[in-house]
């Protein structure tokens, strides 16, 4: 399976971290040069910044475009790929899981990440390698640091952009209701900034695990955006009511001893 690591050219520490980690797991991979804010002109930013429920910052637009580049590569290769952000920490189970999931049919996306939030997942599961389970994922709002994307799923994400515009990468994936998504449990990927939450020893320099997208000073926007948010919250609430009948909302487990630590 292809592995694409999204990385800014000047983020040398993160690039080195991923090289060391993926070499240790004996995984072949390819770096994708992330779109930076210098690539997002004022004109492009203005074109897309109002697509979501609040004004998108240039860093957020650039992050979305970086993921979209990976989606297009999945379509071009017509092969599934593991898409990683460069602060993703992988468990030792990832190689076996990739081999197990590479030829799965009728799947658009498999989320491998966990981020300390509850998800709507199926009550039944399919057994995978490494004592893992595959569960239907009905709703997820936990990030896009590590996921397997299949060609049909990539096409659906691009089509969703044409209908709805862009958003934060994980929010866009969540909003694409046509995606047939699954979740691996125990989750084999977290972002480095989640190490302490899950009881893992965070041995990495702050520069590596600090988010490159500042979560502070997010503009909430004017009345137009407030109405947008209310509308989407109502839609989300109605969808959750429907999901209760066929899923359960809970935290996805994580097995911390599976993660490589120096």
Whole-number percent of the chain with pLDDT over 90: 76
d(CA 181, CA 139) in angstroms, rounded, equals 9
Please count the other Cβ atoms lying within 10 Å of the Cβ belonging to residue 55.
16
Alpha carbon distance 35, 84 (integer Å): 14
* Residues 112-118, mean pLDDT to the nearest whole number: 92
pLDDT attached to residue 262: 57
* Phi, psi of 173, deg, nearest 5: -60, -45
Tell me the pLDDT band of 81, cut-offs 50, 70 and 90.
Answer: very high
Spell out the alpha helix ranges (H) of the chain.
12-24, 42-48, 58-77, 94-101, 151-164, 169-175, 206-209, 223-243
Please, which pLDDT band fits residue 212 given cuts at 50, 70 and 90?
A: low
Query: Which residue segments constitute the domains of the chain, with CATH numbers given?
Result: 2-258 (3.90.550)
Q: What number is the average pLDDT over the span 43-66?
A: 94
d(CA 60, CA 66): 10
Q: Give percent of the chain with pLDDT exceeding 70.
A: 96
pLDDT tier at 221 (50, 70, 90 boundaries)?
Answer: confident
Which pTM value belongs to this model?
A: 0.93
Nearest partner of 84 among 189, 171, 236, judged by Cα: 189
Neighbours of 91 (CB within 10 A): 24
> What secondary structure letter does DSSP report for 35?
P
Q: Tell which residue, 68, 72, 74, 82, has the closest CA to residue 25.
A: 82
For 203, residues 6+ apart whose C-beta sits below 8 A from its C-beta are 261, 262
Contact 139, 120 (CB under 8 A): yes
pLDDT bin (cut points 50, 70, 90) of residue 214 is low
Question: Please, which pLDDT band fits residue 261 given cuts at 50, 70 and 90?
Answer: low
For 63-67, 147-151, 227-231, which range has the lowest pLDDT when averaged over its residues? 227-231
Mean pLDDT of the chain: 92
């Amino acid at each position: 399976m292809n592995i694409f690591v999204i990385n800014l050219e000047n983020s040398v520490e993160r690039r080195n971290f991923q090289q060391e980690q993926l070499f240790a797991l004996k995984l072949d991979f390819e770096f994708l040069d992330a779109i930076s804010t210098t690539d997002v002109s004022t004109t492009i930013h203005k074109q897309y910044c109002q697509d979501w429920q609040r004004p998108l910052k240039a860093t957020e637009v650039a992050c979305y475009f970086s993921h979209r580049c990976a989606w297009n590569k999945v379509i071009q290769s017509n092969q599934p790929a593991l898409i990683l952000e460069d602060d993703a920490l992988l468990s030792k189970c990832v190689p076996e899981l990739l081999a197990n999931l590479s030829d799965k049919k009728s799947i658009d996306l498999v989320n491998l990440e966990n981020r300390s939030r509850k998800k709507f997942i199926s009550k039944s599961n399919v057994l995978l390698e490494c004592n893992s389970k595959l569960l239907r994922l009905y709703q997820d709002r936990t990030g896009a640091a590590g996921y397997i994307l299949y060609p049909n799923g990539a096409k659906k994400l691009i089509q969703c952009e044409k209908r709805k515009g862009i958003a934060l990468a994980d929010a866009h994936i969540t909003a694409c209701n046509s995606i047939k998504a699954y979740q691996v449990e125990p989750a084999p990927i977290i972002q480095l900034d989640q190490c302490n939450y899950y009881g893992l020893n965070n041995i990495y320099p702050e520069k590596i695990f600090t988010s490159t997208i500042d979560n502070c000073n997010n503009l909430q926007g004017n009345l137009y955006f407030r109405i947008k948010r209310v509308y989407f919250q109502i839609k989300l609430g109605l969808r959750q009511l429907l999901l209760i009948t066929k899923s359960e909302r809970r935290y996805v487990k994580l097995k911390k001893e599976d993660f490589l630590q120096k």
